Amino acid sequence: MFLISDLCELLDKYLEKEQVAEVYRAYVFGAEAHEGQRRVSGEPYIYHPIAVARILADMHMDSPTIVAAILHDVIEDTATAKDQLISEFGEEVAELVDGVSKLTQVEFESKAEEQAENFRKMLLAMAKDIRVVIIKLADRLHNMRTLGVMRPDKRRRIAHETLEIHAPIANRLGMNTIRLELEDLGFTALYPTRYRVIDEGVKKARGNRKEIVKKIETAIKRRMRQEELTGQILGRQKHLYSIYKKMRDKKLPFSEVFDVYAFRIVVDKPDSCYRVLGVMHNLYKPVPGKFKDYIAIPKANGYQSLHTVLFGPFGVHIEVQIRTEEMNKVAEAGIAAHWLYKGGEEGSRSPQQRAREWLRELLEMQKGAGDSLEFLENVKVDLFPDEVYVFSPKGNIMEMPRGATAVDFAYAVHTDVGDSCVAAKIDRRLSPLRTELLNGQTVEIITAPGAKPNPSWLNFVVTAKARANIRHYLKNLRYDEAIALGRRLLDKSLGEFTLSLDKIDPVRLDKLLEEYHMESLGELLEDIGLGNRLSLLVARTLAPEQEGETEQELTGTSRPLAIRGTEGMLVNFAKCCRPIPGDPILGFVSTGRGIVVHTEYCKNVAEYKNLPEKWIDVQWEDNIDHEFPVDLRVEVANRRGVLATVAATIADMDANIENVEIKERDGLSSTLRFTVDVKDRNHLADIMRNVKHLDMVVRINRMRG
């Protein structure tokens, strides 16, 4: 059992006497606050905060962090208020404790929502003070070490959360030692059988490998002595969770994943790293494409090292990492290296600086996120980067996750550049915005004033920043469109009472908004536009009572709502019947989606006959300059080049083919299904007439669902 006396003895080695006394005072305060509380294991609760403080003391964290670690659960689990902590231990400690505390007073609809909101709160506190997340990771590490006493279902849930969120955060902040332990503990708890099988396999394989490892190590030492280079050579152990992930992701058997010999060479200075690399490439042949220089271009979390893979003796592969002592410290401790080694770098690209930049991006991202669940999903995307390094036209290096596209790059440069990008030049050649970026490419973004984000970008962007900004724009667009459509619908319904929105008595309108518990007219119009509230009922409430009018008289006199076809998100055209200008149409008000437009002869119309209040009369506007998809079925005789001939005929009629399917009926004939963009019924009739005149076409007809 680790006691407060052991903690104070450890702290005496690097803290002032007064600071150690302050830690002891915090212990007394915490022990009194947690009096009578016990952990699931049965031990007094205060043992947990002391153990968390011990983990942080091993990192040489400062005294406010150690004090906050001992008190980290008093706001959440006891009657202690934040104000009391401020008066006892000061603002700094109280803010750290509050940042780590969960939101216990708020009711959530689901466990996922609660987890997401607590996560958002922690990240916002992190942005103010990075020590919040270091305390949180130490807290989670001790909880994982003592997870065995929990119920199996709770154990699995906590382990899953750790592997999904906490271990990636530790990795993102460069805290490799904590990440490895969190992953191993999480893996053990979540998949105990898989862990045991891989662990046994590793132990068995390791016994058979000793001779080869010794032979390789001796060869490396001998060659380094010849070149008068000194350094520490370590046989690197494969981490069990990384073996499992590699087997799962690449679908490899254990023998292939573990058939790699890993070494780490630690030298005195960066220049020696490159000299050792030359020695290794002379000793064994390098595997092409497997060399990575993370010294010249560090990873996003500040990690620096040279990586190479070599063809070793007996046909085995050798993975080698070459780094300096300082790089090794940062690789293990990440942002905590600043406290652990007081000489830790504080340069512009130190792990601390990189962490702050990441947190700034998170703050910007959370402003555009609709809710905590969406924010958490965005952050998860950002927590699993496999970096690609590309250059801006001025030669600046940009780190992007693997799979990132030109749009992701544009948003990484600046939100405004992303919002207004229209094209990209990759290595001076024009490329589509969805092009995936590769290492070493130079990317230039072309913007245009007035250009806006495209909803289809969400199908291929991979960075959280790009996704959050596009969604934010679309939400605002949806809001504006909903208000505009709501105004048109309400004006149409008021027209049945010979009124318009401009003529409504403001007092009557305010009274209605108060009755609906709404703050503004915009909120009411948005609700109508989204289909959450029927415009006719609102109009009836707003209109002065008129005697002698029946419902039929009220609903039978108004003009249909004109549809342009370009309303975007809130006027949707049903895919079952694909209406086009010229078709007789009906509108159906759908909750949350606005208006769904069907043709009058659509078979799905019958389903809605019992809901007359949801129907709205609509008509096409004159002079629509827009194209609409329509499905055509063409039965043809089997001949060489028949598809090309039919497609060319359609294209000659100034129609774009979106999709085509071929279904062979028998040896003599086939059915072609086209989705074609047309302007209206006349355009469609011209296309069908020209295709029908082809001698290989047996029949053509429009598909109606």
Is 345 a catalytic site residue? no
Number of other residues whose CB lies within 10 A of the CB of residue 501: 16
Among candidate residues 62, 76, 161, 361, the one labeled active-site is: 76
CA contacts within 13 A on the Cβ side of 408: 26
CA distance 443 to 314: 43
Structure tokens at 282: 């002379």
Contact status, residue 444 vs residue 425, Cβ threshold 8 Å: yes
3-class SS of residue 428: coil
Query: Contact at 8 Å (CB) between 652 and 674?
Result: no
DSSP-derived letter for residue 405 is B
For residues 427 and 391, give the distance between their C-alpha atoms in angstroms, rounded to a whole number: 10
DSSP state of 269: S
SS3 annotation, 67-79: HHHHCCCHHHHCC
Identify the three-state secondary structure at position 420. coil
| SS percent in the chain: helix, strand, coil, step 5 | 50, 15, 30
Closest by CA to 49, choosing from 185, 146, 120, is 146
Rounded to whole angstroms, the Cα distance separating 469 from 125 reads: 22
- The residues pairing with 599 across neighbouring beta strands, listed in sequence order, are 585
- Look up 371 and say whether it is catalytic: no
Residues 6 or more apart whose Cβ sits within 8 Å of residue 146: 39, 41, 48
Provide the 8-state DSSP code for 530: T
Give dist(CA 389, CA 442) in Å, integer.
10
In a 13 Å sphere around the CA of 451, the CA atoms on its Cβ side amount to 16
Angle, vertex CA 378, rays to CA 110 and CA 396, nearest 5: 165
Given 62, 77, 419, 680, which residue is catalytic? Answer: 77
> Would you give the distance in Å from CA 350 to the centre of its chain?
25
Q: Which amino acid is at 204?
A: K
- What the block records as the tokens of 537 is 């009922």
Asked if 600 and 575 count as a contact pair (C-beta separation under 8 A), the reply is: no
Sequence-ordered alpha helix ranges (H) in 129-175: 131-145, 152-161, 167-172
Bridging pattern class, strands 317-324 and 260-267: parallel
What is the DSSP secondary-structure string of 36-103? T-B-TTSSBTTHHHHHHHHHHHHTT--HHHHHHHHTTTHHHHSS--HHHHHHHH-HHHHHHHHHHS--
Let me know: does 410 contact 418? Beta carbons within 8 Å: yes
Question: 266 — phi, psi (to 5°)?
Answer: -110, 120
CB 687 within 8 Å of CB 648 = no
d(Cα 330, Cα 351) in Å, to the nearest integer?
8
Contact between residue 443 and residue 390 where contact means Cβ atoms under 8 Å apart: yes
Catalytic amino acids?
76-77
